[in-house]
Amino acid sequence: LDRQIQSWIDLLCSGDARALARAISTVENRGPGWVALLKALFPHTGRARVIGITGPPGAGKSTLVDRLAKLYRKMKNPSPSRQARGFDGAPDDDRYRVGIIAVDPTSPYTGGAILGDRIRMQDHFADPGIYIRSMATRGSLGGLARTTADVTTVLDAAGRDLILIETVGVGQDEIDIVRLADITVVILVPGMGDDVQMIKAGIMEIADIFVINKSDRDGAERVEREIRALQMLAARHDGWTPPIVKTVASEGRGVTELAAAVAAYDSYLEKEGRALKKRVENWQERLVEMLRDVMLEKARAHFGDGSMARLATEIAEHKLDPYTVVEEIAARVAK
Ligand SMILES: Nc1nc2c(ncn2[C@@H]2O[C@H](COP(=O)(O)OP(=O)(O)OP(=O)(O)O)[C@@H](O)[C@H]2O)c(=O)[nH]1
Ligand SMILES: [Mg+2]
């Protein structure tokens, strides 16, 4: 099995798209050997920049991600991680290679592989330098945020220099997902009304860059003023003031400016070890989650799902107290 995994990984690291797809499926479905695979892949990771892109439904996230990916494909990567290794037969190996994870997507991309079997046959005409994966599985086995993190690991190992993660910015899952990003872009649009309240609540504080998309519509200035007002109220601890970039994604306007803002934040991160610090914070949270998963799984294996229900019944009927139950389960799992 070890040798099998090794040759699989060699294929994957050389940029083979089929090996990549298989690895992602294995990780996503928690299929046989998924932990062994991630363990083996981890040493090959840490090079990719992960960019989280979030915002309300229909804000133009997919359109913008698509434009951004195509722009990066035209840009020379100053430090290509796998020089001249022949990437899927693509001659432009010195360009950025992009991976896109679309979480719960509703609209398709045109850049690389496209969502859904219906249009998957277009793969042949697409740029192998853009790999797109959709994750539409709510309540996925590992939890959406953790699965997304693991898929990011796979893409990183596969030599994707930039990984763009699109999520609809609504729930805790989405906030967790953008937390695993190095750079978080929050997209707003004019005329959101009450949505701004939602944005204020959680998303506001995670934005490294703001985008006002659909700036061809009335009200872009007003959104900009609102963001500035909120920024005055709550300055970031690290001293970074998130820039505001106006875009019209459907026409490709402002995309170069967005890439410049990303680059600016990237160099800011590189200073004073900020990137590392952020990753330490991310890992601290992820470690706790991973531990919780493993412990829970052990507890479940020990008792079986049915006995959890039985214990719950006995607690509800006050025949048992929950504190003792948890103590006993923990003691058994620890053995
Ligand atoms: N007027 C205008 N329309 C845009 C702009 N950007 C995107 N759109 C349109 O807005 C619609 C939604 O765009 P998507 O890119 O699918 O938006 P999304 O945020 O990915 O949507 P969900 O994934 O469903 O949340 C599409 O019809 C786009 O063509 C823009 O800058 N101006
Ligand atoms: Mg979308």
Provide the token pair at 193: 């009304």
Q: What is the DSSP letter of 185?
A: E
Q: How far is the CA of 114 from the centre of ligand 1 (A)?
A: 16
Q: How far is the CA of 103 from the centre of ligand 1 (A)?
A: 16
64 CA closest ligand 1 atom index: 15
pLDDT at 138 over 80: no
Distance (Å, whole) CA 138 – CA 7: 32
How far is the centre of ligand 2, averaged over its atoms, from the C-alpha of 156 (Å)? 22
**Percent of the chain residues past pLDDT 70, beyond the cut:** 81
Q: Which ligand is nearest to the CA of 56?
A: 1
Greater confidence (335 vs 53) lies with 53
**Higher pLDDT residue, 61 or 104?**
61
Query: How is residue 153 written in tokens?
Result: 């690991």
CA 60 / ligand 1 centre spacing (Å): 3
**Ligand 1 closest atom vs CA 215:** 31
66 CA closest ligand 1 atom index? 15
Ligand nearest the Cα atom of residue 185: 1
Distance CA 161, CA 182 (A): 13
Ligand 1 center–CA 62 separation, angstroms: 7
Identify which of 63, 110, 186, 212 to mutate to test ligand 1's pocket (most ligand atoms within 8 A of the CB): 63
Torsion angle of C-alpha atoms 277, 281, 282, 286, degrees rounded to 10: 140
Is the Cα dihedral 187, 193, 194, 197 positive or negative?
A: positive
Q: What is the pLDDT of residue 24?
A: 93
From the centroid of its chain, how far is CA 255?
Answer: 20
> Looking at ligand 1, which atom is closest to the CA of residue 187?
19
Query: Where does ligand 1 bind, in terms of residues with CB under 6 Å?
Result: 57-63, 105-107, 168, 213-214, 216-217, 248-250
Q: What is the pLDDT, as a whole number, of residue 286?
A: 87
Q: Give residue 58's Cα distance to chain centre.
A: 18
Q: Ligand 1 centroid vs 45 CA: distance in angstroms?
A: 32
Contact 173, 162 (CB under 8 A): no
DSSP per residue, 11-77? HHHTT-HHHHHHHHHHHHTT-TTHHHHHHHHGGG-S--EEEEEEESTTSSHHHHHHHHHHHHHHSBP
pLDDT band (50, 70, 90) for residue 227: confident
pLDDT tens, residue by residue, 177-206 = 777 899 999 999 998 765 555 555 566 778
Six-digit token string for 113: 């592989």
pLDDT exceeds 70 at position 116: no
Burial status of residue 265 (CB atoms within 10 A of its CB: 0-12, 13-18, 19 or more): buried
- Residue 83 has which token pair? 């020089």
Q: Return the pLDDT at 60.
A: 92
Greatest Cα-to-Cα distance within the chain, rounded to the nearest angstrom: 70
Helical H segments across the chain, by residue range: 2-13, 17-28, 34-41, 61-74, 117-120, 144-157, 172-179, 195-198, 220-233, 255-270, 274-316, 322-334
Average pLDDT, the chain: 82
Q: pLDDT exceeding 90 applies to what percent of the chain?
A: 39
CA of 57, closest atom in ligand 1: 25
CA gap 150, 154 in Å, rounded: 6
Q: How far apart are CA 53 and CA 166, in angstroms?
A: 5
Global model pTM greater than 0.85: yes
Q: What is the pLDDT of residue 118?
A: 35
Using 50, 70 and 90 to split pLDDT, how confident is the model at 272? Answer: confident
Give me the mean pLDDT over the 13-30 stretch: 88
